[in-house]
Amino acid sequence: MTILHTMRMFIGLILTAILVLPGCSSEPQTPEEVLQAFFAALERQEYAKAGELAEPHTRAFLDLVGQMAEVQRVTGQVLDLPEGSVELAGSLVRSGELEVVIPVRRQGRIENIHLVQEEGRWRVKLPESFF
């Protein structure tokens, strides 16, 4: 094998990686994937991770919840933190080009969760009933 042949193979591998790897992103892409990842993070009490999947107002709320969780962990004082599992309860409904609504079941009730597109990514926008 010549050096030129080895370099061509190496360049080919790099080009393949550049073209293929962006499609292998582990970040959720669809509104349903974003919503499922968001609630999975909440269930694990990973509020910062959930905040990465949220729009600014929801992210601010989750920052506060995360601080409350840290106070609870440090002091042992029991605080009223949001909890409870959430499951998808229906199909996505478009509410415009940059917003969708997905019904979820939480604590025996059906609630509509909005997702909005920000900079090309879907972000969760929790209703006030969650706060």
* Domains of the chain: residue spans and CATH: 28-126 (3.10.450)
42 token code pair: 């909440």
* pLDDT tens track for 70-127: 888 899 887 766 666 778 888 888 877 899 999 998 888 888 999 999 999 999 998 8
Taking the CA of residue 52 as centre, how many other CA atoms within 13 Å lie in the half-sphere pointing to its CB? 8
The pLDDT tens digits of the residues spanning 111-124 come to 899 999 999 999 99
Phi, psi of 49 (to 5 degrees): -65, -45
Q: What is the pTM of this model?
A: 0.70
Instruction: Report d(CA 30, CA 13) in Å as an integer.
Output: 29
